[in-house]
Amino acid sequence: MRHTISVLVENKFGVLARVAGLFSARGYNISSLAVSETLDPDVSYMTIVVEAKDASVLEQVKKQLNKLIDIIKVTDFTRKDHVERELVLVKVVCTAKTKAKLESLVGRYDGSVIKCKDDIAIIEAVGEQAQVKQLLEDLSTFGVKELVRTGKIAVAY
Amino acid sequence: MKREGVEVIFGYPGGQAIHIFDKLYDFPLKLILVRHEQAAAHAADGYARATGKVGVCLATSGPGATNLITGIANAYMDSIPMVAITGQVKSFLIGNDAFQEADVTGITRPITKHNYLVKDIKDLSRIVAEAFYIASTGRPGPVLIDIPADIQMQEYEFSWPESVEMRSYKPTLFGHPGQIKKAVKAIMRSKRPIIYAGGGVITSNGSAELREFAEKINAPVTLTLMGLGAFPAAHPLFLGMLGMHGTAYANYATMNADLIIAVGARFDDRVTGKLDTFAKNADIIHIDIDPSSISKNVAVDVPIVGDVKNVLGQLLEEIKKAPDTSEWLKVVDGWKKKHPLVYQYKGKINPQYVIEQINEVTQGSAIVCTEVGQHQMWAAQWYKALHPRSFISSGGLGTMGFGFPAAMGAKMGCPDKTVFDIAGDGSIQMNIQELATCVCNKIPVKVVILNNGYLGMVRQWQELFYKRRYSHTIMYNPDFVKVAEAYGGVGIRVTKKEEVRPAIEKAIATDNVVFIDIHVEPEENVYPMVPAGEAIDKMRGLA
């Protein structure tokens, strides 16, 4: 099962390695990870998405995260009301013939075509993971050349 | 460190720690120069276990620091308060593969409670204060401070933080009142309770409370290897150690209890055996300061996060009337009588007999350290520790070579006590160079080598599970008496049963490090034994 966990940490060097180490030591792959400063520049906010087969192992990881000295708070969004978003940048083939079609498709996803040059368009879109997934499927007919995603960020109500 | 009450450091110099050592040349802080950095870490560990204070070790960068690793991991597994200080290459060289460089904070991240790389001299006193605070509070553990050589050289006006305040680190010290009430209800309901206590009792100095608690609820007490000494071995409610090499009656009582009160113990696989068979009919109350220990291996009915001493105090206040457990105690006593610890005399000296003799001579007043292997289990079974901090052994990591340097540390911390290291002929050779440290610094520890010419514990497994194929477990040994003498210590050889006691008495009377090389029954096994991965009431080798 996929879990989204947020971790509030002291903004210091080495903290990311401590957090990542707890997952890697148990053979867990982090699906996505987003880190940034918060209102307090001494505190950073991490959103971690991880695939965990065994709920008890994940429970143990969360307890171990809480034990790390530089960690202030750990929240698991799995059963919590929350909002989550991800930003994607996609390079898609875009000719004079397909440009209008592409723009209308991207518009349906509240995205936009940032730049269109030499038959390549760069598209940005923000959404929940399901929406992003759907957008990427729809774009595949145009020919996707490159794709960059920020990974999920999430906040509780 | 002086401010933190440090009296002694165990260390070894080197190029990137030379500035610290230069300060120690005329600073009023005693440094014990070991012969291998691993021994410095183990000695600091032994010092901490014997005294309850933070042990300190010091090494240089690169190989000096990596030699500390085993000792740091050992302290981490057994929750021992320790501060390890390492030199590091100059800060502008870090990451350049400089001479004697290693990423020590990276290497030690999973085996320390916390670690620091000092990047600015202004941070140093705060970091040292935090390190001692983190090492010694909550669930204790080792903290490492890595100091680059250029930072060591810088000067800064000394200031010391009055108190340490960290928003992200606040251990829970008292049990939640609601959970205490639930626990009391479970205790009052129980007909067959057992207290299963571990090293957390010793860490929290909660032995007196444990005894009062056991007597108040009339529950038998079994201890883990780490807990030995936390409850007096001579007490009628005491069942000895449980688990793989525990007593039959401790294991039967655990498996047949209707309530297990786990106190500062963590349900290690050497204790529980096969998990899905472990104490199936028991409710479990688990008292531990570390929330991540609770429901890790065994599902717990009443978790109580808090300091053991405090929580036991809270429980004692809430329990008004003693539950009636007399029927249960009779059953347990029956097991005690039917399956006592025994050994058979086969012509040569029994290792168990040696431990019995040490026990009789010292009357439980000594500090006994051990290495790891068969001798460790015999010591755990046959030495009747009466006081906390008097039985010191590597539990979690199971580190051969721990006992001798740990004994040095214990002796430095408790100079008035007789300190033994019970060793095997394999283990003692892993840090035998510390004879020099003992002779030079006049640390008169008594090393009892139960010499069977084998790596006995592995040989026992090979005998029982690998058709006696003794693959690489037969030891060629040096003459331990001559080795001790070559270093300037005293060696005594014992080949006959009647020589055992006089040798122990002579060693105690000798004001020097002593090796007693005792040639014991070579193929003696540790029994009872639960094969790894089986239920703990499926014991072999019962009386």
For B113-163, what is each residue's pLDDT tens digit?
A: 999 999 999 999 999 999 999 999 999 999 999 999 999 999 888 888 888
pLDDT bin (cut points 50, 70, 90) of residue B429 is very high
Is the domain spanning B351-519 CATH 3.40.50.970? The answer is yes
For residues A10 and A72, state if they share a domain: yes
A61-104 tens-digit pLDDT? 899 999 999 999 999 998 889 999 999 999 999 998 888 999 99
pLDDT bin (cut points 50, 70, 90) of residue A128 is very high
CA distances from B223 to A76, B244, B261, B270 (A): 36, 13, 12, 13
Of A63, A64, A71, the CB nearest to B168: A71
- What is the pLDDT at residue B195? 98
Per-residue pLDDT at B503 exceeds 80: yes
For residues A66 and A94, state if they share a domain: no
Q: What is the pTM of this model?
A: 0.95
Per-residue pLDDT at B1 exceeds 80: no
3-state secondary structure of A111: coil
Q: Are the CB atoms for B208 and B229 separated by under 8 Å?
A: no
**Within B441-496, where are the H helices?**
456-465, 480-487
Strands (E), chain A: 2-10, 30-37, 43-51, 71-76, 82-93, 112-117, 120-127, 144-149, 153-156
For residues A52 and A114, state if they share a domain: no
3-state secondary structure of A96: coil
Task: Indicate yes or no: CB of A21 within 8 angstroms of CB of B109.
Answer: yes
For residues A66 and A124, state if they share a domain: no
Tell me which architecture the domain covering B177-338 has in CATH. Answer: 3-Layer(aba) Sandwich (3.40)
Give the whole-angstrom CA distance, residue B219 versus residue B199. Answer: 19
Q: Are the CB atoms for B288 and B294 separated by under 8 Å?
A: yes
Structure tokens at B442: 């006049």
B2: DSSP letter: G
Of A25, A46, A76, which residue constitutes the final position of a domain?
A76
CA distances from A100 to A116, A138, B98, B355 (A): 12, 15, 59, 89
Q: Where are the domains of chain B?
A: 2-153, 177-338, 351-519
- What is the pLDDT at residue B413? 98
Number of domains in chain A: 2
Q: What angle do CA B368, B372, B374 make, to 5 degrees?
A: 95
- Nearest Cα neighbor of B35 from B440, B484, B371, B489 is B440
Give the whole-angstrom CA distance, residue B490 versus residue B176. Answer: 55
B315-351 tens-digit pLDDT? 999 998 889 999 999 999 999 999 999 999 989 999 9
Instruction: Report which secondary-structure segment, H or E, holds B109.
Output: none
CB of B291 less than 8 A from some CB of A: yes
CB of A14 less than 8 A from some CB of B: yes
- B290-306 average pLDDT score: 92
Give the whole-angstrom CA distance, residue B240 versus residue B219. Answer: 14
**CATH number for the domain that contains residue A50:** 3.30.70.260
Name which of B88, B105, B109, B115 to mutate to probe chain A: the one with the most chain A Cβ atoms within 10 A of its Cβ.
Answer: B109
Per-residue pLDDT at B2 exceeds 80: no
Give the whole-angstrom CA distance, residue A72 versus residue A22. Answer: 16
Query: Beta-carbon neighbour count of residue B454 at 10 Å?
Result: 23
For residue B86, give how far its alpha carbon lies from the nearest alpha carbon of chain A (Å). Answer: 18
Per-residue pLDDT at B543 exceeds 80: no
Task: Indicate yes or no: CB of A18 within 8 angstroms of CB of B117.
Answer: no
**Within chain A, where are the H helices?**
15-24, 55-67, 99-108, 129-139
B347: DSSP letter: S
In the sheet that A71-76 helps form, which strands lie side by side, from edge to edge?
A30-37, A43-51, A2-10, A71-76
Q: Are the CB atoms for B134 and B83 separated by under 8 Å?
A: no
**CATH number for the domain that contains residue A107:** 3.30.70.1150
In terms of C-beta density within 10 A (0-12 exposed, 13-18 middle, 19 or more buried), how is residue B336 classed?
buried
Strands (E), B390-489: 391-392, 419-424, 446-451
Mean pLDDT score across all residues of chain A:
92
For residue B77, give how far its alpha carbon lies from the nearest alpha carbon of chain A (Å). Answer: 14
CB contacts under 8 A, B 445-484 vs A, are none
For residues A106 and A51, state if they share a domain: no
Task: Indicate yes or no: CB of B105 within 8 angstroms of CB of A70.
Answer: no
**Look-up: residue for tokens 């260390």?**
B11
In terms of C-beta density within 10 A (0-12 exposed, 13-18 middle, 19 or more buried), how is residue B501 classed?
middle
- What is the pLDDT at residue B530? 94
Tell me, letter by letter, the H, E, C secondary structure of B213-258. Answer: HHHHHCCCEEECHHHCCCCCCCCCCEEEECCCCCCHHHHHHHHHCC
Q: Are the CB atoms for B223 and B210 separated by under 8 Å?
A: no
Give the whole-angstrom CA distance, residue A22 versus residue A50. Answer: 12
CA A110 to chain centre: 18
Mean pLDDT score across all residues of chain B:
96
According to CATH, the superfamily of the domain at B2-153 is Thiamin diphosphate (ThDP)-binding fold, Pyr/PP domains (3.40.50.970)
Of B117, B168, B291, the CB nearest to A72: B168
Between β-strands A112-117 and A120-127, what pairing exists: parallel, antiparallel or unpaired? antiparallel
- What is the pLDDT at residue A39? 96
Length of chain A: 157
CB of B167 less than 8 A from some CB of A: yes
Structure tokens at B543: 């009386």
For residues A46 and A107, state if they share a domain: no
DSSP B277-310: GTTTT-EEEEEES-GGGTTSSS--SEEEES-HHH
Name which of A69, A72, A73, A74 to mutate to probe chain B: the one with the most chain B Cβ atoms within 10 A of its Cβ.
Answer: A69
Of A30, A57, A76, which residue constitutes the final position of a domain?
A76
For residues A72 and A87, state if they share a domain: no
Contacts of B470 by beta carbon, 8 Å cutoff, 6+ apart:
B454, B459, B462, B463
Phi-psi region of B518 (alpha: psi -120 to 50; beta: other; left: phi over 0): beta
For residues A145 and A101, state if they share a domain: yes
A22-54 tens-digit pLDDT? 988 888 889 999 999 999 999 999 999 998 888
Q: Are the CB atoms for B540 and B532 separated by under 8 Å?
A: no
Q: Give the domain range for residue A42.
A: 2-76
- What is the pLDDT at residue B406? 98
For residues A13 and A38, state if they share a domain: yes
pLDDT bin (cut points 50, 70, 90) of residue A146 is very high
Based on C-alpha coordinates, what's the Rg of chain B?
A: 24
- What is the pLDDT at residue B193? 97
For residues A93 and A152, state if they share a domain: yes
Q: Are the CB atoms for A7 and A71 separated by under 8 Å?
A: yes
For residues A92 and A151, state if they share a domain: yes
ipTM rounded to 2 decimals: 0.89
Per-residue pLDDT at B3 exceeds 80: no
- Fold match, B2-153 / B351-519: yes
Task: Indicate yes or no: CB of A10 within 8 angstroms of CB of B291.
Answer: no
Of A47, A76, A105, which residue constitutes the final position of a domain?
A76
Per-residue pLDDT at A147 exceeds 90: yes
Give the whole-angstrom CA distance, residue A76 versus residue A21. Answer: 18
**Within B288-397, where are the H helices?**
308-318, 326-338, 351-362, 374-382
- What is the pLDDT at residue B354? 98
CB of A1 less than 8 A from some CB of B: no
